[in-house]
Structure 1
Amino acid sequence: MSYPWKNLRPKDTLILTKSAILSDVNISTILSLYQPLMGINAASLYLLIKEYLNVLDEKELTLSDILAQLDIGIKEYYEARTKLEAYGLLKVFNHKENEEIYLFVLEAPLAPIHFFNDTMLRMLLTEKLGERLVSERREKFIKPIKSNDNYREITKAFQDVIHFNMENYTESFNRIDTPNELTKTSLIDEISKDSDFDWSFFSSGLNKHFISSQAITPEIKQLIETFHSIYAVNELEMQKFVLEAADITSGQVNGNTLTRIIHDHFLGKAKQVRSKTPAGQDDNTRISELRAKGISREEIEIILHAEKTQPFAYLKSIKQQKGGYVSSNETWLLKELVEQAPLSTAVINILMNYILVVKNAPTLEKNLANKIANDWAQSKVNSPEEAIIKVKELYDSVREKNKQKQTQTQTWSKSKYKQSSGRKETLPSWANESEQTDEKISKEEEEAFREKLRKIRKQKSGDD
């Protein structure tokens, strides 16, 4: 396997410089707006380079200096560096004659108002933090203008105050470099350059439904490019979303409506209707239905809770009960499961419960989660009760593999966690396996192994 950081060495020389003077507002922007997107390591690397360049315009050091101060390995450093590059915060150059020498140019972040006007960045931040926290950050940086209806503006224009002969300054003006902030393109503009979205095919499909090309404003076009980049929405799918967001009378497309429709589709809100559960069915009816299927009382409680709770809230509740927290990797994994796995949210909740509670894993392991999700999808697991059956099958395979015939008397987990609502997570009696059963050998096997060792040692001493 090839690793992109394989050519990096601790002894590599790094020459640090910057393209602009960084202010406290820049640093606040990095911490409040960029750090949630790129992670703590990337933000720390940015701040460390900035600290080196507070006094000096240029600083030379080795990669090992960076690794030591950030307390990270080369892999983590490379990932942090590339995150900075991706968000336009760092430009990296490699010496043409000596590949062990790198030039780093630290770039200023976008001004907050430009950040929030960038559709891609705003959308990524909303996905990461949610609407409430994004609104709080917007209010922090961008202050609303108070109503001035009782006033008339008398501000002087530039040409009314400043008088100069442009001809005298033409030559010197042409030699001035344009500030980086003015030439900096937005993230979605950079992505759109290489976009493969077929606008001609997309537009022709809309015309058949009486949606004019004028309805696709630059703002809507930018939204479409953003969703195409984030979710890989193709032209036909995008036509359906736009048609759903269009006003029947005017044919105009509302950007907020389009955003909500696509987010609902890909974040799984459309899948939150309980599988095989009629709309409006109450708990008593559902309980009777489950009892008729032979589901135990503890299992019914698990199923009802899984059906009523959103996946992220379910994950957060379990992690809090265990004294932990939801990591960014777990958040993205859950998003991937909801978006890509053809499983209902209730089934995904059962899957998470199996990994975090039954197996008592400290984190939601990506490989295991994807393996189980793929198996359940291929097995057409459509309901939480079917997921419970699959979990039982997993336990049967574990018992067979380890040749263990212990009585199934324990509850779903070794510890009883209290849900945020005050309820206890009750679990069926069959769930009593642990990770250790996969690793430990029985006492009989251990004693047989020791007896073999004694015989070998005795035979060896006799030969000597």
Structure 2
Amino acid sequence: MLQSWKEVLPGDHYRVQADGQLHSFDQRVITCLYQPLIGIEAASMYFTLWQEIDDSEEFLTHHHLMGTMNVSLDRILSARKKLEAIGLLQTLKKKAASPGQFLYRLEPPLTPDLFFKDGFLNLFLYRQIGPREYKKLSLQFADVPVQIDSYEDVSAHFDDVFESISTSESVDETIAAQSPGSWKARAEAPKISFSNAFDFKKLDMLLSDAILSEDALTDEVKLSIEKLAFVYQMDPYDMSRALQAAALHTGTVDIEKLRKEVRDFYLLEHGPDEMPALYERTQPQEEREIKDIEPQNEEEQLIAWYERNSPYQLLEALGRGSKPAAPDLRLIENLMFDTKLNPGVVNVLIDYISKVNDHNLNKSFVEKVAAQWARANVRTVRQAMTYAREEQRKREQQKPASSARSTKRPYRKTSQNEHHEVVPEWMKNQSQQEKQPSSNDDEVKQRAKWLEDYLNSI
């Protein structure tokens, strides 16, 4: 669970401020376009804070917010982080204040036009709601022009209605023109930022000066590169190829052309029916067990590894550093989209099946186990490991029956290369481990070496 007390306490104060003017139409945009991405609680928090803008001359407490939303502080913190990540909220904390003082600045959402042209958030939305609902939403927000060829403009001009006042009746124009202060205006939606920065230094080394000018990588182009690299999992080498193709004849980067080149490159690699991997690539913070503490034993070390790494990284580890095969990536992506299993849970599932099935990710076997875990609402890595142990126990119980059947057919020869299932140490029966508490030094070193080799293969 999320340890909210490390970041915010119920007694901490906050006040709300809007970055510019928010309009009623923004509510519709957030409900229809953002809520499928951030969830109902994050959207509810945004609307709740919106209503408290006028009340924020005095500080409110987070205990008040907990009561207003009827949710725990952990869930409020989780919703807040989603709003921050997607660009709808900026959180500022006053230094050395006791109790803590927070300033929540609500940011306006993107307009529908910018959202559907974003090339990033719109892809997340497409993956989340599917092509049918996506098309329905895009039509709902579409700007359908009215044919005005058969109309004429009969609007009145300013001087047709109003008259100028005489100089003697006017106020001091100098005072009016120099009135101090600032007034509310519509602010631009902030740019989305990434904690894992794209390696632009390596990208610069791969680009040809003959194709791209020095100032071609503007801030806008760099932001687009970061988004596209995140969505399509592109490294600097592949991105350099797409950039040079987009700027081949002009020497400048057209963002739309760059998006097309990246999409074409992705489709060439993965097939025409594939969408990029848009799932959360590591276990969500609120579902992690090993956070801010050191693992105390081998099992906790494995839990921490499964939580901190993505299924993509697990496939790389299983392949000893080689790039994961496209069919395996498609299997995992479809698995996570259909079953909604967390990435850490999928790590346990894939690692388990790979080890007991001779490194073969049989599609039907994987989907069968995933469906069972989804029905059981397996959310954490430890739960997944418990279910994996139970699955292995059932497989072990089926072995005597199969052995008995084999004795009835003595003519069948046993292969010298008969497959033996290999399972991780954590999957072994816990009761056996309890019965053998006194392992010798060689066994301890062997297990430690196995774990070290496993972790070093990442």
Bin of the TM-score, shorter chain as denominator length = 0.5 to 0.7
Aligned residue identity for 2:225: I
Structure 2 residue 371 is the aligned partner of structure 1 residue 370: no
Pair 234,47 (structure 1): closer, same or farther in 2 beyond 3 Å: same
Contact 2:20–2:186 (8 Å) recurs in 1 = no
Contact 2:311–2:343 (8 Å) recurs in 1 = no
User: Alignment partner of 1:10: what SS?
Assistant: coil
In structure 2, the partner of 1:205 is 207
Q: CA deviation at 1:66?
A: 2.5
Pair 350,103 (structure 1): closer, same or farther in 2 beyond 3 Å: closer
Pair 159,255 (structure 1): closer, same or farther in 2 beyond 3 Å: farther
Q: Identity percentage over the alignment? A: 22
In structure 1, what is the Cα distance between the partners aligned to 2:328 and 2:203? Answer: 40
User: Alignment partner of 2:91: what SS?
Assistant: strand
Structure 1 stretch 172-181 or stretch 72-81: which is displaced more? 172-181
Structure 2 residue 181 is the aligned partner of structure 1 residue 181: no
In structure 2, the partner of 1:242 is 243
Q: CA deviation at 1:261?
A: 4.7
In structure 1, the partner of 2:29 is 29
User: Alignment partner of 2:14: what SS?
Assistant: strand
Deviations 1:183-216 (A, max 9, x none): x35415x679x876349926x82444x5678998
Unaligned runs of 5+ in 1: 274-308, 313-328, 410-436, 446-464
Structure 2 residue 105 is the aligned partner of structure 1 residue 101: no
Pair 250,149 (structure 1): closer, same or farther in 2 beyond 3 Å: farther
Pair 244,345 (structure 1): closer, same or farther in 2 beyond 3 Å: same
In structure 2, what is the Cα distance between the partners aligned to 1:18 and 1:232? Answer: 34
State the superposition RMSD in angstroms: 5.9
Q: CA deviation at 1:25?
A: 0.9
In structure 1, what is the Cα distance between the partners aligned to 2:221 and 2:348? Answer: 38
In structure 2, the partner of 1:398 is 392
In structure 1, what is the Cα distance between the partners aligned to 2:348 and 2:38? Answer: 27
Question: How many pairs align?
Answer: 347
Per the normalisation by structure 2, the TM-score is 0.53
In structure 2, the partner of 1:70 is 69
Pair 106,185 (structure 1): closer, same or farther in 2 beyond 3 Å: closer
Contact 1:12–1:101 (8 Å) recurs in 2 = yes
Pair 93,373 (structure 1): closer, same or farther in 2 beyond 3 Å: same
Q: CA deviation at 1:98?
A: 1.8
Deviations 1:431-454 (A, max 9, x none): xxxxxx988989xx9xxxxxxxxx
Deviations 1:274-328 (A, max 9, x none): xxxxxxxxxxxxxxxxxxxxxxxxxxxxxxxxxxx9799xxxxxxxxxxxxxxxx
Pair 178,353 (structure 1): closer, same or farther in 2 beyond 3 Å: closer
In structure 2, what is the Cα distance between the partners aligned to 1:259 and 1:378? Answer: 39
User: Alignment partner of 1:181: what SS?
Assistant: coil
Contact 1:272–1:345 (8 Å) recurs in 2 = no
User: Alignment partner of 1:109: what SS?
Assistant: coil
User: Alignment partner of 2:186: what SS?
Assistant: helix
Deviations 1:116-172 (A, max 9, x none): 45554445444544565445434333423234456687989999999999x936874
User: Alignment partner of 1:72: what SS?
Assistant: coil
Per the normalisation by structure 1, the TM-score is 0.53
Aligned residue identity for 2:204: F
Pair 366,3 (structure 1): closer, same or farther in 2 beyond 3 Å: same
Contact 2:203–2:237 (8 Å) recurs in 1 = no
User: Alignment partner of 2:104: what SS?
Assistant: strand
Contact 2:203–2:240 (8 Å) recurs in 1 = no
In structure 1, what is the Cα distance between the partners aligned to 2:13 and 2:217? Answer: 50
User: Alignment partner of 1:93: what SS?
Assistant: strand
Deviations 1:254-284 (A, max 9, x none): 7556435534656x873459xxxxxxxxxxx
Deviations 1:226-267 (A, max 9, x none): 3245556444321212345567x888977556435534656x
Unaligned runs of 5+ in 2: 165-169, 277-286, 288-306, 316-322, 370-387, 404-426, 436-458
Contact 2:109–2:189 (8 Å) recurs in 1 = no
Contact 1:19–1:105 (8 Å) recurs in 2 = yes
Deviations 1:407-449 (A, max 9, x none): 469xxxxxxxxxxxxxxxxxxxxxxxxxxx988989xx9xxxx
Q: CA deviation at 1:217?
A: 9.2
Q: CA deviation at 1:368?
A: 3.8
Contact 1:14–1:101 (8 Å) recurs in 2 = yes
In structure 1, the partner of 2:84 is 85
Q: CA deviation at 1:20?
A: 5.4
Q: CA deviation at 1:32?
A: 1.3
In structure 1, the partner of 2:39 is 39
User: Alignment partner of 1:175: what SS?
Assistant: coil
Structure 1 stretch 368-377 or stretch 22-31: which is displaced more? 368-377
Q: CA deviation at 1:45?
A: 0.8
User: Alignment partner of 1:146: what SS?
Assistant: coil
In structure 2, what is the Cα distance between the partners aligned to 1:380 and 1:215? Answer: 50
Pair 381,257 (structure 1): closer, same or farther in 2 beyond 3 Å: farther
Q: CA deviation at 1:364?
A: 2.5
Higher relative contact order (CA 8 A, sep 6+): 2
Contact 1:338–1:345 (8 Å) recurs in 2 = no
Q: CA deviation at 1:372?
A: 5.0
Pair 157,310 (structure 1): closer, same or farther in 2 beyond 3 Å: same
Contact 1:344–1:383 (8 Å) recurs in 2 = no
